[in-house]
Each structure stands twice: as C-alpha cells, then as structure tokens.
Amino acid sequence: MYSYEERKRAVELYIKYDHRAAQVIHELGYPNRHTLKVWYQEFKENGDLHQKRGSTSKYSDEQKRIALEYYAEHGRSISTTIQKLGYPSRTQMLEWVRNEFPGERPPCLTSTPLVHLTQREKESAVIDLCTRTVSAQAIAQKHSISRYSLYNWAWQLKEKGYIATVSKKTPPSNSHNEHELREEITLLKKQAEILKQEVYRLQLERDVLEKAAEIIKKDQGVSLEKLTNREKAIVIDALRDKYKLKELLHVFKMAKSSYCYQKTAINSPDKYSMLREEIHRAFDGSNGTYGYRRVKCVLANNNIIVSEKVIRNLMKEENLVVFSKRCRKYNSYKGEITPAVENIIDRNFHAESPNKKWLTDITEFHIPAGKIYLSPVIDCFDGLPVSWTIGTSPDACLVNTMLENAIATLKPNEHPIVHSDRGCHYRWPGWIDRMNEAGLIRSMSKKGCSPDNSACEGFFGRLKNEMFYNRQWNNVSIDEFISILDEYIHWYAEKRVKMSLGGMSPLMYRKQQGLLA
C-alpha cells in the first residue's frame, strides 16, 4: 500500500504536469495510470486524500519477510522472486522493495539492437578491422555499426580460434619500433587469410547442400554422408567448374577411386535400355494396370527372364505407378421381396473345375454422360467372366439376359451354384424361374455383408482400378463407354495375366489345362 505522502506527492505532480500520467510515473516510478486517476478523482471530490485505509494487507508479515530475503539473496530480481514463490503481484513486490530498500530504482527495459548483420557481414567487418589502414571508427562507420560492436565481434572470433588477438587500441603510433609494426601487420594478414579460408569453406558447404537439393531432390537438413556414392558423384560433377575436386571429395568424405568408378558408371551406356522399353510396352499394354509381378510374367511369356527386384527398381525410376482408388458400391437391396435362401458358398470360393461355383452382382459406373451398369457371372475356378451384360438401367432384363447367356454355355450335366447378394434382381420371379428351369442352385450372402461375395467384389475393384479410375470421361458418350467396357472384359478374359494362374489369363489357363479346344 502507498502511504499518504506518496499518494499526495503523485497527485500534486499529476496536476503540475497538466494530467500527463506518463511523466509522473517516469519520475516517481509508481503507480500505474488507473491508480493515479483514482487518486486524482478522490482529491478532486473531497479536496484531500484519505490518510488511512481500512483494508488489510493480503500477505502476512512472514510472507513479506521471505519474499524480501529471497529477493536480496538471488540477484535482486523481482521476476525471479515472483516466479519462485508464486506471490505477490509485481506492483506489491515493487512497493515492498521500495519501502525496504529506499533509493533503489525499479528495473528498466533494455533496448535491442537496431542494426542486424549476417554472420558473413560481421566477418567482413572484422577482416576490414584487422587489415585496416584507417581508424577503427572509420571502419565502424563504413559498416554502419558502433566501434564497440566491431571490437566485440573481433573478440568473439578470437575465442573461436579464427584470429590470435585484436587490439582495441588505435593503430600503433610513430614511436613504435618499425620491426614490431611489420610483425603486427604480418600477423593481421595471416588472421585475415584464416578468416577468408573459413568463409570459403562455409560457402563451399552451402553450395554443396543447395546443389544436392536441386539435383538429387534431397532435403538440405539431410547429412551428406547419407547420400549414395552415385548421388555424391552427380553433385560433385555439377560443382567441378567452381571448386577443386580435392575440396569437394573432402566435403563428401569420398575416396577419389569411388568417385572415378561412379563417374565411369554414369557415363557408360545403360545396360537396361532395351529392358526399359519392354517394361514400358508391357505396362502401357495393360493401360497402366500391371505392377512389377505381372510385368515380370509378361516378360517371361516373351522369353525375357529378369528378377523382380530389377523390374521393380526400373519401374520406380521410370515412374510407372499403378493407380488405385476405392469408391462406394452400388446397392440394389430393396427389402425382403421373397424368402432368402441359404448361403451355400459360405465364403469358400475355391472350385476344382469350371462351372461348379458362379458369382454374380451388379456394379455402377457414373460418368458425365450418365450411369452405366454391369452385371457379370464370374467362375470361381479361374475368375473367368462367363457372361456379362451392360446397360443403362439396373432392371430385370439386365440380369435375366446375363443369366440366359451363361446357362447357354453349360453342358447338360453341369448345374453350378449361383451365389449373389440379397438384391431385388435375384429375388424376382423371373430370375427364380430361370434358375429352376436350368437346375441351378441358389445361394445368397447375409444382409449387408459384402465379404460373403468378396471374390466378385474383387473383380469389380480390379476392373475399376485398371479401366475406370484415373481417366477422364468428359467427352465420352454412353455408347462409347459401353464399347470400352466390353472391350476391357474381353481383354481381361483372354490376355490379362493373373499371378494365381501362373502368369496366364483365364482362357490361356483353361487351354493349358486342356479344358478348351
């Protein structure tokens, strides 16, 4: 709390300085603007200030004693005292300090330098100081800094070992011995040379990092030691016109023999040039849908034997990446139209021979021209699309026509299980009648359980990733899209290799097994 005399003194100065609170606070060191205005208002209304206050101190005498002892023993820092003890407020602590230690001025703010120079500019200023022929003050004015800062930077460099000594005195007077003067000049020149070499080294390291980021696409924060020898050789070649080979090899910590080996390898013809063309041909022939395993199968079918690792690395270098995307599945469930049948397949999609287990479903393609629907029958034996229909409406005609075409491929003694989801198309009377007439066995997934028909869902996923996604269909009509889709399914059945079939297409596999003429 402030005494009566302190409050009255503040109000008198406030009136004297024409209500300029900042000038009062600057002169007295107390209080804040709000408190000063409250005191003035009280003086204005009552003609005087209250000499006693009814309120009691928030802190006890013991707390006050502890705070003042800590303040005196720990550098007389108000902020440190408050942070350590957790009390009191800064205003209260200032009042205790002023009463306990009269005459001690409150802490003041320190200014920050207005001139900011880079490290390289500081080093240049120190070099000018060491090799000067004029006064240090002239050097300081040249760089727009103070003479004190100039000598301070020089002593900092001396501590780092860049220079031996820097004198803060003016250049030697004429009374100095000529021999001593020459020795000092020689020493300063050596110090300047050391600084120039250090600046040159730093410039070299910075250029190396920048060139590595530009050519090798490496982050500048990555250590140079983590670069491969091939990458180091590429960066060194790019900087040979500016720096010596010996200096660059020292920065990279690379032997000259290693550099010569990598340079020879880089300049030698690419032994995989023909293989790259074959990989491009196989990848482009699949419309960008083959990964390195299926590309290997295509090359093997063309009597080109090469390891998967080589193919994978070359595809990575050529940026041959297979696009993939997931999309919401078309849902044809319309409720329990007719009683559902048992799930006979029960997620066992393996078949020992063709036409034992068939899978069917409907998927949707949405292009700017409209929506197109595909209804296929997939054989579990080898994933062959036995029959399919494409239309613009998911109606009974779409699935019934597909089923009739599939039944036409069966032999008299073949009665496969036909598994589907619980869509309305597979519960309408027309579908059921055709199934019964052909002696086919119905099987259905559980409600909303796509894994029960995952093999057919997998066919749709591969089809859309390879043919539909990552392509522009803005200028494609519905008829053109149907033609493209039909052509892809023919290619899928006749030419597209499957790893599960030993790198053969479904029809090629059946011919190899003697199941087709």
- Looking at residue 406, what is its pLDDT? 92
- Looking at residue 489, what is its pLDDT? 94
Q: Is 124 part of a structural domain of the chain?
A: no
Q: What is the pTM of this model?
A: 0.44
- Looking at residue 175, what is its pLDDT? 46
Contacts of 428 (CB under 8 A, 6+ apart): 337, 338, 396
Q: What are the pLDDT digits (tens) for 10-51?
A: 888 888 888 888 878 877 777 888 888 888 888 888 877 776
The end-to-end CA distance of the chain, in Å, is 110
Regarding whether 291 and 254 lie in a shared domain, the answer is no
- Number of domain units in the chain: 4
| Interatomic CA distance for residues 127 and 193, integer angstroms | 9
- Looking at residue 327, what is its pLDDT? 53
Regarding whether 362 and 238 lie in a shared domain, the answer is no
Regarding whether 491 and 436 lie in a shared domain, the answer is yes
Regarding whether 293 and 215 lie in a shared domain, the answer is no
Regarding whether 426 and 385 lie in a shared domain, the answer is yes
Q: Which residues of the chain have pLDDT under 50?
A: 54-55, 109-112, 165-176, 220
- Looking at residue 284, what is its pLDDT? 84
| Interatomic CA distance for residues 191 and 8, integer angstroms | 64
- Looking at residue 209, what is its pLDDT? 82
Last residue of a domain, one of 100, 122, 154: 100
448 dihedral zone (left: phi>0; alpha: psi -120 to 50; beta) = left
Q: Is 480 part of a structural domain of the chain?
A: yes
Any idea what the CATH number is for the domain that residue 466 is in? Answer: 3.30.420.10
Regarding whether 370 and 495 lie in a shared domain, the answer is yes
Regarding whether 484 and 365 lie in a shared domain, the answer is yes
Regarding whether 217 and 240 lie in a shared domain, the answer is yes
Regarding whether 366 and 503 lie in a shared domain, the answer is yes
Query: Which residues span the domain enclosing 389?
Result: 357-512
Decide: 326 and 417 in contact? Cβ < 8 Å: no
> Which three-class secondary structure state does DSSP give residue 229?
helix
Regarding whether 310 and 228 lie in a shared domain, the answer is no
